[in-house]
Amino acid sequence: MEPTHVRYPQGSSSPYEKSFEKYYSQLDRYSREEIDGWKHALEQICCRSGWSLDMTGSFEAQLVKKVVNDIIKTLDRVPLQVAKYPVGLETVKKDLIQKLHLGSAQTAVRFGIWGIGGIGKTTVAKAAYNEACNDFDAASFVFNVRSTSLTKLQGQILKDLVNYEEELQSVEKGKYLLADRLRGIRALVILDDVDDRVQLDALAGHWLSPGSCLIITSRDRHILNTAHISSVCIHQMSGLEESEGLQLLSWHAFLRPSPIPGYEVLSKRIVQACKGHPLSLEIIGAFLYDKQNDTDIDSWNEILDNFTVNKDIFKTLKISFKGLSAEEREIFLDIACLFIGERTTNPILFWKSMYKNVRIAITNLSMKLLIRIDEKDVFDMHDLVQDMGQMVAEEEQTRQWQAAQSSSSSKNVSNISGLRLYKGDLRSLKMLGTPSLHYLHLEQVHIEDSIDNLPPSLRWLKVDSCSFPKTMHSSILFEEVILAMKNKFTSVVDSLPQLRIMDLTGCRSLQNLPDSIGHLSHLQSLNLSECQKLDCLPNTISNLSQLLYLNLSYCENLLYLPDSIGNLSQLQYLNLTCCRILIELPDSIGKLSQLKELSLSWSEKLESLPKSISNLSKLEMLDMLRCHTAWKSIPYSILILPELCLLGLPTRVMEWRWCKPSLTENQDQTEEWTTPKFREPMTEFRATLAPECRK
């Protein structure tokens, strides 16, 4: 059957022609409006894109496989988190969605959203993505274009649209692959926060296929003109109407859509002062959330006085910053200047060596909307808030990022607690002269002498692609140290017996660890993610008696884990995601009595799980996404783990082949037993009675 048969059901070639003639001859049974409604429904359904046997040369099995793969890809698209309180969003979203359909099957459409920072460009783009992504063959939302490398952004688009995962070596190679691999794919691509023509050239070339859609958000209208976006397809974001602004402020300040009695006038004055700027309203509202007593009226009036003195958005945001405790300010500035895009694990351990209430501080910063922690447990914040934080740090001269050659010429480094040096030569670290330095990040820096002049205050040394001395003097005995190295691993760690954290993420040439790693008896976190040549761990890893966190994700050549891993008595988190040739886990894994999370997702060759896994009494999360074989061997005894949450198991059909092993004729047969918790919703549950189960 062809689409035309459905579009024109009364055509001479349509199999529906006689049926409709029959219906029209029976108007005593069916009304003409009812029959016309059926025709209209058929006309509508034929306009939907679908699959045809012609796609696979009339091979039905191949077509079925394509349909299944396309459905899986669609189901894997996770909706983006838009806004907790999406006030004023619906109207703008509808306008954008309507304009997305200005394109056709023969053309691609480009759309632009522009406005000042914090006005809601990204929020609207995410809402449009959620609404429209399933209307395309593939979709990609690219965040933070302004602050991310072009090859990384190109790689994300290729991965999202065609599942291409190889690392790109150059922007030109990325442009070629975008044009070559995306030919014929109807794609939705959103580029968020573009501010440079070079980004457009690398990411928004002429590779879009007919039927595709490109959305660009920017603070600069000229960028959208450069991208050849028609003026009719450019939307300027303006502030919220006063009624919408009052509603947004009220949701954040009072957790209701309108002010509480007694605060109506003050709330309206703040909305008018913010001029409908959503980010300002959200942050000020969150700041005022716990200031609703009679004694707090002064806080509201103080904010209004600040608005009267100046109307600068940065100074508006600084009102919330000034309301932080001393610890919260330091942590906020660290995130704004040093830790955007960093997983929370290492920074939290870093701060715990200096501050008492780190978790509380992070929670308060999140509650005040000054920071965000995304679904990957990575620190983030709105770019406008980040700009404000970096401006404060520059004013206070507490955190700097600069070329290595210019470090010695800094006017005042005595107060610096965080320093990033990149690209250059550094004769001696004595040149830094920073007695209060806590964080030092060296990137592509050549250091000539031995590192024996680091201040005792240093807590985190991060080294990326540097020419690094082979040894450190043994006199360097920091109380708390984090060492992060990329692309190169040397024996420097042998001289750091107090090392707490070692981060070797992306050391692609690292094939094995030295036995001397067992000397790091204070190590709490070992990150070997993306060490693609690493094939094994030394037996001496068992000496890391204080290790809490071990990340081996994307170690694609890891063959096995040593039996001695069972001696890591304090280990709480073990990540084996994407260890593609790992076949089995050692039975000794059952000795990890403190283990809380075990991730095995995408370790597709893993054949089975050891029965000893049921000894992990504190296990809270077991992720087995795409472990096509291993999940079938989950031992029945895992049912006794009270807090276990299983992730990644097949959600359509789950067969439980086990029953409680301790149930005998002499026991109370009404005794209850429970299955583990599942994160994904189950659409079908099947319990199979095994022969050993008693009736």
Query: 265 and 205, same structural domain?
Result: no
Lowest mean pLDDT, pick from 30-34, 470-474, 508-512 = 470-474
* In contact, 548 and 573? CB cutoff 8 Å: yes
pLDDT above 50 for 620? yes
Domain assignment present for residue 346? The answer is: yes
Query: 557 and 437, same structural domain?
Result: yes
Cα–Cα distance list, 87 to 21, 289, 291 (Å): 51, 18, 23
Amino acid at the residue 403: A
Query: 343 and 232, same structural domain?
Result: no
DSSP for 501-563, written as a single string? EEE-TT-TT-----GGGGG-TT--EEE-TT-TT-----GGGGG-TT--EEE-TT-TT-----G
* In contact, 209 and 187? CB cutoff 8 Å: yes
Domain with 230 in it: 79-236
Amino acid at the residue 263: Y
Token pair, residue 183, equals 């030919």
Query: 219 and 105, same structural domain?
Result: yes
Number of domains in the chain: 5
Query: 340 and 312, same structural domain?
Result: no
pLDDT above 70 for 255? yes
Domain assignment present for residue 253? The answer is: yes
Domain assignment present for residue 51? The answer is: no
Q: What is the pLDDT of residue 56?
A: 58
State pLDDT tens for residues 369-384. 899 998 788 999 888 8
Using only the alpha carbons of the chain, give its radius of gyration: 30
DSSP for 200-249, written as a single string? HHHHSSTTPPTT-EEEEEES-HHHHHHTT--GGGEEE--PPPHHHHHHHH
Query: 246 and 124, same structural domain?
Result: no
- Total residues found in the chain within this entry: 695
Query: 511 and 631, same structural domain?
Result: yes
pLDDT above 60 for 27? yes
Token pair, residue 302, equals 């103080």
pLDDT above 80 for 389? yes
Using the structure block, give the residue that is written with the tokens 């291409």: 164
* In contact, 247 and 87? CB cutoff 8 Å: yes
Nearest to 260 by CA among 216, 239, 291: 291
Task: Compute the distance between CA of residue 326 and CA of residue 63 in angstroms, rounded to an integer.
Answer: 62
Mean pLDDT score of the chain, rounded to an integer? Answer: 79
**Looking at residue 113, which CATH number applies to its domain?**
3.40.50.300
**Looking at residue 566, which CATH number applies to its domain?**
3.80.10.10
pLDDT above 80 for 223? yes
State pLDDT tens for residues 636-670. 777 677 778 877 665 443 444 444 444 333 444 33
Domain assignment present for residue 412? The answer is: no
Domain assignment present for residue 58? The answer is: no
- Strand, helix or coil at 431? helix
- Strand, helix or coil at 469? coil
Question: Which of 189, 212, 236 is the last residue in one of the domains?
Answer: 236
Q: What is the pLDDT of residue 58?
A: 58
